[in-house]
Amino acid sequence: MADRFGFELESWDEDGLGPAVGFEFIYADHLFLVRELAHYLEHLGGEGFDIQADYGDLRRHGIEEMADQALAALGLDHHNVTWITEGLPDL
Protein backbone atom coordinates (compact mmCIF):
# COMPACT_ATOMS: atom_id res chain seq x y z
CA MET A 1 0.00 0.00 0.00
CA ALA A 2 2.81 2.42 0.84
CA ASP A 3 4.51 1.78 -2.51
CA ARG A 4 1.24 2.32 -4.35
CA PHE A 5 1.02 5.89 -3.04
CA GLY A 6 4.70 6.69 -2.65
CA PHE A 7 4.66 6.77 1.15
CA GLU A 8 7.78 5.83 3.06
CA LEU A 9 7.23 3.00 5.53
CA GLU A 10 8.16 3.71 9.13
CA SER A 11 9.09 0.97 11.62
CA TRP A 12 8.52 1.08 15.38
CA ASP A 13 7.62 -1.05 18.40
CA GLU A 14 3.99 -0.81 19.46
CA ASP A 15 3.71 -1.00 23.26
CA GLY A 16 2.66 -4.52 24.24
CA LEU A 17 2.32 -5.67 20.63
CA GLY A 18 5.87 -5.64 19.29
CA PRO A 19 7.12 -4.65 15.83
CA ALA A 20 4.95 -2.55 13.55
CA VAL A 21 5.35 -0.92 10.15
CA GLY A 22 3.17 1.70 8.56
CA PHE A 23 2.66 5.24 7.36
CA GLU A 24 0.51 8.28 8.06
CA PHE A 25 -1.44 10.30 5.53
CA ILE A 26 -3.79 13.25 5.51
CA TYR A 27 -7.02 13.15 3.53
CA ALA A 28 -9.78 15.79 3.67
CA ASP A 29 -7.96 17.46 6.57
CA HIS A 30 -7.97 14.24 8.63
CA LEU A 31 -4.93 12.29 9.80
CA PHE A 32 -4.92 8.53 9.32
CA LEU A 33 -2.41 5.86 10.37
CA VAL A 34 -2.04 2.66 8.38
CA ARG A 35 -0.14 0.03 10.34
CA GLU A 36 0.67 -3.64 10.19
CA LEU A 37 1.43 -5.44 13.45
CA ALA A 38 3.69 -8.50 13.39
CA HIS A 39 1.93 -9.90 16.48
CA TYR A 40 -1.46 -9.70 14.78
CA LEU A 41 -0.19 -11.44 11.66
CA GLU A 42 1.85 -14.14 13.40
CA HIS A 43 -0.30 -15.01 16.41
CA LEU A 44 -3.88 -13.89 15.78
CA GLY A 45 -4.38 -14.91 12.16
CA GLY A 46 -4.41 -11.36 10.82
CA GLU A 47 -4.29 -10.85 7.09
CA GLY A 48 -3.19 -7.28 6.59
CA PHE A 49 -3.11 -3.80 8.00
CA ASP A 50 -5.39 -1.65 10.09
CA ILE A 51 -6.31 1.99 9.69
CA GLN A 52 -6.63 4.35 12.61
CA ALA A 53 -7.97 7.88 12.73
CA ASP A 54 -7.74 10.72 15.21
CA TYR A 55 -10.11 10.17 18.14
CA GLY A 56 -11.47 13.72 17.95
CA ASP A 57 -12.25 13.31 14.24
CA LEU A 58 -13.97 10.01 14.95
CA ARG A 59 -16.14 11.65 17.63
CA ARG A 60 -17.01 14.63 15.41
CA HIS A 61 -17.67 12.83 12.14
CA GLY A 62 -18.50 9.27 13.17
CA ILE A 63 -16.76 6.00 12.53
CA GLU A 64 -18.55 5.19 9.27
CA GLU A 65 -17.75 8.55 7.66
CA MET A 66 -14.10 8.37 8.68
CA ALA A 67 -13.85 4.77 7.46
CA ASP A 68 -15.39 5.81 4.14
CA GLN A 69 -12.85 8.64 3.79
CA ALA A 70 -9.88 6.39 4.58
CA LEU A 71 -11.05 3.73 2.14
CA ALA A 72 -11.67 6.30 -0.60
CA ALA A 73 -8.22 7.81 -0.07
CA LEU A 74 -6.60 4.39 -0.41
CA GLY A 75 -8.72 3.26 -3.35
CA LEU A 76 -10.41 0.53 -1.31
CA ASP A 77 -14.04 -0.28 -0.57
CA HIS A 78 -15.94 -2.10 2.15
CA HIS A 79 -15.26 -5.46 0.50
CA ASN A 80 -11.64 -4.99 1.66
CA VAL A 81 -12.71 -4.52 5.29
CA THR A 82 -12.92 -7.35 7.79
CA TRP A 83 -13.93 -5.31 10.84
CA ILE A 84 -14.87 -1.77 11.88
CA THR A 85 -15.24 -0.88 15.54
CA GLU A 86 -18.82 -0.21 16.57
CA GLY A 87 -18.24 2.38 19.24
CA LEU A 88 -15.70 4.67 20.83
CA PRO A 89 -14.57 4.55 24.44
CA ASP A 90 -15.09 7.65 26.54
CA LEU A 91 -11.81 9.36 27.33
Q: What is the pLDDT along the chain (91 residues), one digit of tens a residue?
A: 777 888 889 999 999 889 999 999 999 999 999 999 998 888 887 778 999 999 999 999 999 999 999 999 999 988 888 888 877 777 6
Query: pTM score, two decimals?
Result: 0.84
Asked if residues 30 and 69 have their Cβ atoms less than 8 Å apart, the reply is: yes
**Element housing 42 (H / E):** helix 38-43
Domain locations along the chain: 45-79
Residues 6+ apart with CB under 8 A from 79: none
CA angle 17, 20, 26 (to 5 degrees): 120
